[in-house]
Amino acid sequence: MESQSAPTRSGWLAKLLWGAVAIIGAAAVGGIALHRGETINSLWFVVAAACVYTIAYRFYSVFLATRVLLLDPTRATPAERLSDGRDFVPTHRWIVFGHHFAAIAGPGPLIGPTLAAQFGYLPGTLWILIGGVLGGCVQDFVILFFSIRRNGRSLGQMAREELGRVGGGAATLGVMTIMIILIAVLGLVVVNAMKHSPWATSTVAATIPIALLVGVYLRFVRPGRVLEGSVIGVALLLAAVVGGGFVDHHPDLRGWFDYPASPLALMIMAYGFCAAVLPVWLLLAPRDYLSTFMKLGTIGALACAIVILRPQMHMPALTQFIDGSGPVFAGPLFPFVFITIACGAISGFHSLVASGTTPKLIANEGDARMIGYGGMLMESFVAIMAMIAACVLEPGVYFAINSPPGIVGADAATAVATITAWGFPVTLEQMQNLARDMGEVTLFARTGGAPSLAVGMAHIFSSLSGGSLLALWYHFAIMFEALFILTTLDAGTRVARFMLQDLLGSVYAPLGRTGWYPGVLMSSALVVAAWGYFLYQGTRDPLGGINSLWPLFGIANQMLAAIALCVATTILVKQASRRRYALVTALPLVWLVTITSSAAGYKLLSANPRLGLLAHAQDLQAKLSAGTGTPEFLLQAPRLIFNDHLNAAMTLIFLIIAWVVVFATLRIVVQVLRGAPTSPLSEAPYEATALNLR
């Protein structure tokens, strides 16, 4: 490293430069932490993030690469050794970076920080920065590296080989259950953005025929010309946003797209089923091309807009809701800020991509640092931008959009009075004007994060167009979010279908055949029914669904990250020369196990009915037995009680899976420390590279 080189002139200059970056970064983080004024400029956040990321990349990732993992640029990667022109292809590092980032950047880092803003901007921002550089980036980097050393093996395979059959089985089960919860919660986010919004619904609906059209173009008109197809598709998508405005203003047409949440949930389920069953070329792949271009373009544009405009943020550093009484979701700061931020700081799902497509494309081991560690830094920056966009709103407006009617009251006047009484002034007129500006009938109780993020983005983008076109920007942002949420939903349903078929195939062989239509239809229907149940119940939950589903998703996602870190720690511990560095993965692992276990503990054991699932069920049961409440409530109560028990069971399953894997890891660590033999490392032998792509 440079700090050890002779003190030449350039060495001193470098030290001076990095010293300056460190001081500016520390000042920006300190400024964010200590600032207590009415508003704070978003530039502080951008500068703090930029300095923290560059220092982490320059020093910590180099430490990981040169001391812990010992990246070897002379060693041939699977892309070179197993090159087949299709799956394994040595690819330029910037291309792999682009693919990797497009794969890991989903709706999570946009929604998590938006929800976590109920604690104020400070806790979420600090965790995105710290959790990102010490947790998420490390996880992505080490899993990518270990997969490269194992011929591009998946996380499940690595878990089986390194942890044994029990650990491997638990990991596979974990992946499947997280998929179900993930799809349900993302579906709910889209439904909440579309309910009673003809503009949003018609625009999102238009993305389906547009994807089909692009699919046909790429299959029959100009086979495989992805760029052409995508350009046509993106142009049509933009036209669909404008067209949605036309539909919204048309007295007859708007009725066709005006639905409450529950029917929309059923439509999403029907759509998910079709997407899983139809050929990939027709719907799934073209939608993905469109969403990738849209995603990268919009994220880039948002970054530019924030840097140019430097908007003021109105949310305080901390709110009173750190005590756990927040309206957006229940639960105290510890551990729920970590569970809620989830993907913006560390996401277990990334370990599936880092041990999937990416390791098969990397041409040189040395590229793994930039792609694994650097890719996650970018994702973490997306989370910072989402935090900025959420905090640009007046806090009163933020809470009016994100609070479910079960907490602030079903009618607008009560909601406004409740939120104002919390110390976040907001008026009915202000909300009506905002809804009118955004081209919506109402923005109250649009829980899920997507609408408030879209309002924030619309504010930022419309400043570029002189404060006009708010409604267009709002619906553009909704379309952008819905587009890649639906891509995740399609792709997730399909992958979960394959996993289920794999499982069912061991019971009755034909069910495992991906070409046997009855098997395909049945397994797809089962997967859709599983996530559809959670989604549908979420739309009928008086507390808004997100309230219970997002923490469940957060726990599942962090659990998957814990599994990935267990695999990484085991591999490090098995190698005598690296053992002392195992703390780089073991410390984030201990932290993740602590937060997932305590969050699960709260969800299962808390006596507060808003937080504890079982306490909520008991509370409902008591009311039901006493016969208190409206006839509607008495009708709903048994279903709500069942859902509470189901959610509690899911939480318990996640907890058990995580601990099974942790014990499998501990067993191997103890064996190693005692000097007992363990299962050998499954690393592929060294072969020198003949490539020179760098």
Which residues of this chain interact with another protein, rule CB under 8 A? 83-87, 89, 91-92, 94-95, 98-99, 103-108, 154, 182, 186, 218-220, 223-227, 230, 280-281, 284-285, 288-289, 342-343, 347, 349-350, 352-353, 356-357, 484, 487-488, 491-492, 494-495, 498, 514, 553, 557
- In angstroms, what is the minimal distance from the CB of 536 to another protein? 20
Cα separation, 611 vs 545, whole angstroms: 13
Q: Checking DSSP bridges between strand 312-313 and strand 40-41, what pairing results, if any?
A: antiparallel
Backbone torsion region of residue 89, taken as left when φ is above 0, otherwise alpha when ψ lies between -120 and 50, otherwise beta: beta
- In angstroms, what is the minimal distance from the CB of 279 to another protein? 8
- In angstroms, what is the minimal distance from the CB of 512 to another protein? 13
Q: Cα 265 to chain center, whole Å?
A: 21
Residue 615: C-alpha distances to residues 90, 144, 561, 607 (Å)? 55, 42, 29, 5
CB atoms within 10 A of CB 30: 12
What contacts 237, CB < 8 A, 6 or more positions away? 206, 207, 210, 290, 294, 479, 483
CB atoms within 10 A of CB 311: 20
CB nearer another protein, residue 90 or residue 327: 90
* Structure tokens, 412: 């607008």
CB nearer another protein, residue 251 or residue 515: 515
The answer to whether the bond into 335 is cis (omega within 30° of 0) is yes
CB nearer another protein, residue 65 or residue 184: 184
CB nearer another protein, residue 106 or residue 326: 106
CB nearer another protein, residue 8 or residue 514: 514
* Structure tokens, 366: 């040395």
Residue 132: C-alpha distances to residues 145, 313, 599 (Å)? 18, 22, 20
CB atoms within 10 A of CB 638: 12
- In angstroms, what is the minimal distance from the CB of 564 to another protein? 13
Residue 684 gets which letter from DSSP? P
- In angstroms, what is the minimal distance from the CB of 124 to another protein? 17
CB nearer another protein, residue 475 or residue 494: 494
CB nearer another protein, residue 322 or residue 343: 343
CB atoms within 10 A of CB 252: 7
CB nearer another protein, residue 396 or residue 492: 492
* Structure tokens, 246: 């036309």
CB nearer another protein, residue 154 or residue 651: 154
- In angstroms, what is the minimal distance from the CB of 343 to another protein? 6
CB nearer another protein, residue 382 or residue 389: 382
- In angstroms, what is the minimal distance from the CB of 106 to another protein? 4
Burial 513-536 (b: 16+ CB within 10 A, else e): eeeeeebbebbbbebbebbbebbb
Cα separation, 608 vs 553, whole angstroms: 20
Nearest in space to 32 (alpha carbons), one of 217, 135, 24, 67: 24
CB nearer another protein, residue 88 or residue 461: 88
- In angstroms, what is the minimal distance from the CB of 51 to another protein? 27
Backbone angles phi, psi at 295, to 5 degrees: -65, -50
What contacts 410, CB < 8 A, 6 or more positions away? none
- In angstroms, what is the minimal distance from the CB of 126 to another protein? 22
- In angstroms, what is the minimal distance from the CB of 371 to another protein? 14
- In angstroms, what is the minimal distance from the CB of 288 to another protein? 7
Cα separation, 325 vs 415, whole angstroms: 16
CB nearer another protein, residue 514 or residue 628: 514
CB nearer another protein, residue 337 or residue 412: 337
- In angstroms, what is the minimal distance from the CB of 152 to another protein? 11
Q: Among all chains, which residue has been given the structure tokens 């007295």? A: 251
DSSP bridge partners of 688: 75
Cα separation, 117 vs 344, whole angstroms: 13
3-state secondary structure of 362: strand
- In angstroms, what is the minimal distance from the CB of 92 to another protein? 6
Q: For the residues of 320-347, what is the DSSP string, one character each?
A: GGGGTT-SSS-S-HHHHHHHHHGGGT--
What's the maximum distance between 2 C-alpha atoms anywhere in the chain? 82
- In angstroms, what is the minimal distance from the CB of 115 to another protein? 14
Cα separation, 215 vs 213, whole angstroms: 5
Please state the three-class secondary structure of 142-175 as a single string. HHHHHHHCCCCCCHHHHHHHHHCHHHHHHHHHHH
* Structure tokens, 13: 């200059």
CB nearer another protein, residue 88 or residue 398: 88
Cα separation, 345 vs 333, whole angstroms: 16
CB nearer another protein, residue 36 or residue 86: 86
Provide the residue count of the chain: 694
CB nearer another protein, residue 353 or residue 419: 353
CB nearer another protein, residue 377 or residue 637: 377
- In angstroms, what is the minimal distance from the CB of 383 to another protein? 13
Cα separation, 20 vs 489, whole angstroms: 44
* Structure tokens, 644: 């509470």
- In angstroms, what is the minimal distance from the CB of 182 to another protein? 5
Residue 630: C-alpha distances to residues 180, 617, 624 (Å)? 33, 17, 10
- In angstroms, what is the minimal distance from the CB of 596 to another protein? 16
Nearest in space to 373 (alpha carbons), one of 692, 162, 64, 647: 64
* Start-end of H helices in 541-687: 546-574, 583-605, 613-626, 631-674
